[in-house]
């Protein structure tokens, strides 16, 4: 149960930071988002692995570093945290007047690519023997999200995470159809990253 609570806490603060930072309109929002993920990984990684993302959980399970019995509870904790964080953001600052619109094909491409990148970095920095017991994995993972948010946030919303996708929908930033895009692209990106890792790196 401790693992699931930690996954809830980390995902909650990630999604809460996203909502509040985007509402603020600050150009530093991507940095705040990446930093939030980084510190939550450093805080909870030793307990739950610090996934805070259903796509990362899928990748870690496919890589063989998570038991099957933990996958669904992790997903429930992460998705629930996204919804709770979104509801609190809405209570504090309200919802935008209208959700964003994205070109579906472009959104699918960039969400897949940066979720692949995120899961690839997680697997190589947090699960590989070559980087065992390193002190930089949280920074590497957090900055992957920062890079993605800056590079393609305007194309897809920059979720790279189904729990974030659900959260930003509840906040009113995205349409329901975009949640489907996030599910397909993010889970596919995580799965392909795991397959690539097993083929190229796993020892």
pLDDT tens digits, residue range 75-113? 999 999 999 999 999 999 998 889 999 999 999 999 999
CA distance 131 to 62: 19
Per-residue pLDDT of the chain (203 residues; tens, 9 = 90+): 999 999 999 999 999 999 999 999 999 999 999 999 999 999 999 999 999 999 999 999 999 999 999 999 999 999 999 999 999 999 999 988 899 999 999 999 999 999 999 999 999 999 999 999 899 999 999 999 999 999 999 999 999 999 999 999 999 999 999 999 999 999 999 999 999 999 999 76
Burial tier of 74 (Cβ tally within 10 Å: 0-12, 13-18, 19+): buried
From the candidate CATH numbers 1.10.3720.10, 1.20.1080.10, 3.10.20.30, 3.30.360.10, the one assigned to the domain spanning 2-200: 1.20.1080.10
Q: Give the span between the Cα atoms of 189 and 174, in whole angstroms.
A: 20
Question: pTM of the predicted model, to two decimals?
Answer: 0.96
The closest of 112, 116, 119, 122 to 182, measured between CA atoms, is: 112
What is the Cα–Cα distance from 88 to 20, expressed in whole angstroms? Answer: 10
């Amino acid at each position: 149960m401790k693992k699931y609570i930690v996954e809830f806490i980390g995902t909650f603060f990630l999604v809460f930071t996203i909502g509040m930072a985007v509402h603020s309109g600050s150009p530093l929002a991507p940095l705040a988002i990446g930093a939030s993920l980084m510190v939550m990984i450093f805080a909870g990684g030793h307990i739950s692995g610090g996934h805070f993302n259903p796509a990362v959980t899928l990748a870690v399970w496919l890589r063989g570093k998570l038991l099957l019995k933990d996958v669904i509870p992790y997903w429930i904790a992460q998705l629930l945290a996204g919804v709770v964080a979104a509801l609190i953001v809405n209570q504090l600052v309200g919802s935008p007047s209208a959700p964003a619109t994205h070109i579906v094909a472009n959104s699918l491409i960039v969400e897949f690519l940066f979720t692949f990148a995120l899961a690839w970095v997680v697997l190589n920095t947090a699960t590989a023997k070559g980087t065992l017991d390193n002190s930089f994995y949280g920074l590497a993972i957090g900055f992957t999200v920062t890079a993605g948010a800056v590079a393609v946030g305007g194309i897809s919303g920059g979720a790279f995470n189904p729990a974030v996708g659900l959260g930003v929908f509840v906040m009113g930033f995205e349409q329901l159809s975009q949640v489907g895009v996030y599910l397909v692209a993010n889970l596919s990106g995580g799965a392909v990253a795991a397959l690539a890792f097993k083929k190229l790196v796993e020892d």
